[in-house]
Amino acid sequence: MKFVSVIIPTLNEAGSIQQCLLTLQSLREQGHEVILVDGGSHDSTCVLAAPLVDKLMTGKKGRAHQLNYGAQQAGGHLLLFLHADTLLNEAVRTELLEIASHESVWGRFDVQLSGDHYLYRGIEFCMNTRSRITGIATGDQAIFCNKKLFEEVGGFPEIELMEDITLSANLKKIKWPICSREKVITSSRRWDREGIVKTVLKMLLYRLRYALGAKPEKLAREYDG
């Protein structure tokens, strides 16, 4: 059995997938595995990824479904769920392997946004601090979980949005997360595209509405629209 399985869901990620996968090749060289689950890309995502992964699968579109499908096929003791626009540096990879030695564990890394704007430093601080206080992790922070524990909570709920928030809430009922201070670097493209302040307010509003009972499918339609 391989010790760590990195699971990456993709949908039209040709612009970022190679850079992400290149940071994982040293893990593959040490015997760990990288699994990519594509949701039906129309670009060259799969062609670019094929030489750089151990398993390349296609599944139904939907990040939660893709992540669960990848987890089912994973041979690792520890699962790392990674966005296609997130990069792991050497310090993160080293800590990940140390964490993998634990029998029952889950958690996330601190996040660093790729943009240079000074507001991004404040966003990072708020995201990491809020997560550390609440025990809730987001996908941008590269969530990791022991496979047995992941299966115990039923994996990601197959909802269209907030699957990471719900998984975290279920896991922390069993065990408080490890909140590593090592930083993964995630793309700031969403903030760059829609505007920093607008995106922050939008994300906060969606999380509040979800907490108050709004349906994930309704939020997802609004978010994508």
* pLDDT at residue 1 in the model: 41
* pLDDT at residue 220 in the model: 64
* pLDDT at residue 183 in the model: 98
Cα–Cα dist 96/29, whole Å:
15
* pLDDT at residue 223 in the model: 64
Q: Reduce the DSSP state of residue 55 to 3 states and report it.
A: strand
| 83 domain-assigned | yes
| 205 domain-assigned | no
Low-confidence ranges of the chain (pLDDT < 50): 1
| 209 domain-assigned | no
Identify the burial level of 106 via C-beta atoms within 10 angstroms of its C-beta, where 0-12 means exposed, 13-18 middle and 19 or more buried: buried
**CATH assignment at residue 149:** 3.90.550.10
* pLDDT at residue 134 in the model: 96
CA nearest to 9, candidates 61, 87, 77, 51: 61
* pLDDT at residue 224 in the model: 61
Report field, pTM of the whole predicted structure over 0.75: yes
For tokens 């302040």, name the residue: 197
C-alpha 146: how far from its chain's center?
Answer: 15
At 152, list the tokens. 């115990």
- Its domain, for residue 96, covers 4-186
Phi, psi (deg, nearest 5) at residue 109: -105, 160
Number of domains comprising the chain:
1
| 75 domain-assigned | yes
